[in-house]
């Protein structure tokens, strides 16, 4: 993750970083994608700047 964000012309990490609980779905890959999408939308509706990191599990991170 870059420290400087071109789109916002800022160092957004200076606003603080919130680590949400991991998104866990014990079902199909499609169900996991939908769950991550729903969780991400929840934060975007709160006007949060969202980044998503994933691997074997997914987590949604956001900050103002």
Amino acid 49: pLDDT: 82
What are phi and psi for residue 10, nearest 5 degrees? Answer: -155, 170
- Positive or negative CA dihedral for 51, 34, 25, 28? negative
* pTM, 2 dp: 0.64
pLDDT tens string 34-50: 998 999 999 999 988 88
Structure-block tokens of residue 23:
């998104």
Query: Average pLDDT over the chain, rounded to whole?
Result: 81
Mean pLDDT across the stretch 5-11?
87
| Residue of 59, 62, 24 lying closest to 43 (CA atoms) | 62
């Amino acid at each position: 993750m870059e420290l400087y964000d071109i789109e916002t012309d800022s160092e957004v990490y200076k606003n603080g970083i919130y680590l949400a609980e991991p998104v866990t779905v014990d079902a199909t890959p499609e169900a996991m994608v939908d769950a991550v999408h729903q969780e991400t939308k929840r934060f975007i509706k709160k006007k949060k700047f969202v980044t998503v990191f994933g691997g074997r599990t997914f987590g949604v991170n956001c900050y103002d």
